C-alpha cells in the first residue's frame, strides 16, 4: 500500500492505517514500545477530541514539523507549550478551535463495515434507511439536482428512491434506485466530503443511533454495527434497571448480550426469547428515549434540578440549554475537568426560564410525535415557540422543553 495515500473504510477499502505520520503514527507489530506510553494509552485510549455540540470526532493530525508537515500540531511547538505548564487541552486549543473538548466513549470495537449487508430499496425501513436519508439530504445542499426526500424518517418510499436514483446517475452508478454496497459507500464518501468529517474544518455529525430502530433481527451469533447499537442501548438502560446486566460493547452477540436481552424482554413484558426483532427494538428505543422518567434519584435541592447526561452532551451545551454557565455547573457538582459520562446525573442551577433543546424538523415529524418522543406536550411546545397552529415545515428549528 502506498504510504502517502490516506484510505478509509467509508470509501470501500478494507484498511484504515497508513504509514505516513501525516495521517497515522507508524506502528510495526512486534516492535518494542515504551512502557510509560503503554500505560497512558491504556488509560486514555477511549478519549477523543470533538467540537462542542458535535458527536463526531474532530480531525486532528500530528507531524514532526521537519521531514513531515501538516495542518495541526507540531512536535516542536507542543514541547515548548508543555514546558510552560500547558495542559493537554490547552495545547490542543493552541492549535485548534477554542471550543474543542476532550470526551470519551465506552463503545470500543474493532473496525466494522458500515454497509448493512443487504441492499436498501423501496419497502425497506429502519435506522439504515434513516442514515441514508440523512446523508442524501445533506449532500443535496451541494448537489441541488438531487430531489428532496419527503418520506417519513426510516421509510424507503418513492422520494427516497428518486433521490437515490438521481445520486447514482450523477456519480456514474447504475441508476436502479437501490442502495447496494457500491452506492452505500459512494453516498458515505460524498457525505464525508461535503461535511468535511476528515478535515480540520469538519461540520460534525449528530445522527448517532437516530430515532428509528434498525430493521434487522439479531440473535446469538450475530455481529456488526446493529449489535453495537443494541449493546449501547442495553448499557444505558442497565444503569436504570438493576435487573438488566450490561453487556460488553464488542459488536458480537454472545451469551452475555443474550442474557441482557432476555432480562430486558422480561422487564418489558415481552416474549423472553433472546431474539431482537421489531417489538424488542421498539421497546429498546422507547426505554432509551424516555430514560429520564426512570431515574431513581432523590428530589432536587432547592434552586437545583437534576439532569441525566445524554450522548453528545457537553458542559457547554448543557449550560446553554439551562441558561447557566459551565463554571456554575462544575462548582455545584465538584467537577475539576470537562469530561462527562453518559448516564451521569448532574445538579443544574435552577433558572426561571424553561430549559429546552433545539430540534430541526424533519420529514414525517408532527407536534404530537415530537411531544411523545421528548416526553412533553403539544401545548408546551407551541407555547415555548409561540405557535398558533400545528403546522410544521421541514428544516424549521423548534425549542423542545426538557
Would you write out the chain's pLDDT as a tens digit for each of its 402 residues? 334 444 455 555 555 555 555 555 555 666 677 677 777 777 777 778 887 766 667 777 777 655 666 666 766 677 777 878 888 888 888 878 777 887 766 656 555 567 777 899 999 988 889 889 989 988 988 888 999 999 988 899 999 999 999 999 999 999 999 999 999 989 988 888 887 765 666 656 555 677 778 888 999 998 877 888 888 889 888 877 778 998 887 778 999 999 999 999 998 899 999 999 999 999 998 888 776 444 444 444 456 777 777 777 788 888 877 778 888 888 888 787 777 877 777 888 865 556 777 888 887 778 877 877 777 888 888 888 878 777 888 888 888 887
CA distances from 175 to 4, 11, 154, 180 (A): 34, 19, 21, 11
**79 vs 221: CA distance, rounded Å:** 48
Q: Is 121 exposed, middle or buried (0-12, 13-18, 19+ CB in 10 A)?
A: middle
Domains belonging to the chain, first-starting first, are: 9-104 (no CATH), 113-210 (1.10.101.10), 225-293 (1.10.101), 297-349 (3.10.350.10), 356-401 (3.10.350.10)
**73 vs 61: CA distance, rounded Å:** 6
* Residue 19 three-state SS: coil
Termini Cα distance of the chain: 51
Amino acid at each position: 500500500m502506498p504510504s502517502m495515500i490516506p484510505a478509509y473504510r467509508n470509501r470501500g477499502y478494507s484498511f484504515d492505517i497508513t504509514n505516513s505520520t501525516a495521517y497515522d503514527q507508524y506502528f510495526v507489530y512486534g516492535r518494542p514500545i515504551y512502557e510509560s506510553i503503554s500505560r497512558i494509552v491504556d488509560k486514555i485510549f477511549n478519549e477523543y477530541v470533538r467540537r462542542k455540540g458535535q458527536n463526531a470526532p474532530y480531525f486532528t493530525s500530528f507531524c514532526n514539523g521537519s521531514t513531515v508537515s501538516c495542518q495541526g500540531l507540531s512536535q516542536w511547538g507542543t514541547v515548548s507549550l508543555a514546558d510552560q505548564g500547558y495542559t493537554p487541552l490547552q495545547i490542543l486549543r493552541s492549535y485548534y478551535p477554542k471550543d474543542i473538548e476532550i470526551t470519551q466513549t465506552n463503545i470500543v470495537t474493532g473496525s466494522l463495515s458500515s454497509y448493512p449487508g443487504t441492499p436498501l430499496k423501496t419497502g425497506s425501513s429502519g435506522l439504515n434507511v434513516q442514515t441514508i436519508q440523512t446523508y442524501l439530504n445533506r449532500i443535496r445542499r451541494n448537489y441541488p439536482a438531487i430531489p428532496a426526500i419527503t418520506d417519513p424518517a426510516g421509510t424507503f418510499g418513492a422520494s427516497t428512491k428518486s433521490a437515490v436514483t438521481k445520486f447514482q446517475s450523477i456519480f456514474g452508478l447504475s441508476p436502479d434506485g437501490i442502495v447496494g454496497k457500491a452506492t452505500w459507500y459512494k453516498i458515505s464518501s460524498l457525505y464525508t466530503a461535503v461535511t468535511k468529517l476528515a478535515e480540520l474544518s469538519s461540520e460534525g455529525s449528530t445522527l448517532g443511533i437516530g430515532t428509528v430502530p434498525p430493521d434487522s433481527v439479531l440473535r446469538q451469533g450475530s455481529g456488526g454495527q446493529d449489535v453495537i447499537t443494541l449493546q449501547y442501548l442495553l448499557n444505558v438502560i442497565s444503569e436504570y434497571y438493576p435487573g438488566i446486566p450490561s453487556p460488553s460493547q464488542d459488536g458480537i452477540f454472545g451469551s452475555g448480550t443474550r442474557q441482557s436481552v432476555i432480562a430486558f424482554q422480561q422487564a418489558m413484558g415481552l416474549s423472553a426469547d433472546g431474539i431482537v426483532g421489531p417489538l424488542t427494538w421498539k421497546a429498546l428505543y422507547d426505554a432509551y428515549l424516555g430514560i429520564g422518567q426512570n431515574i431513581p434519584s432523590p428530589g432536587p435541592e432547592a434552586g437545583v434540578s437534576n439532569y441525566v447526561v445524554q450522548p453528545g452532551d457537553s458542559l457547554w451545551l448543557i449550560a446553554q440549554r439551562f441558561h447557566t454557565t459551565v463554571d456554575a455547573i462544575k462548582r455545584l457538582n465538584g467537577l475539576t475537568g470537562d469530561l462527562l459520562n453518559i448516564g451521569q446525573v448532574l445538579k443544574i442551577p435552577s433558572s426561571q426560564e424553561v430549559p429546552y433543546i433545539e430540534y430541526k424538523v424533519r420529514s414525517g415529524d408532527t407536534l404530537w410525535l415530537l411531544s411523545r418522543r421528548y416526553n412533553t406536550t403539544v401545548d408546551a411546545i407551541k407555547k415555548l415557540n409561540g405557535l398558533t397552529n400545528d403546522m410544521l415545515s421541514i428544516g424549521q428549528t423548534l425549542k423542545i422543553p426538557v
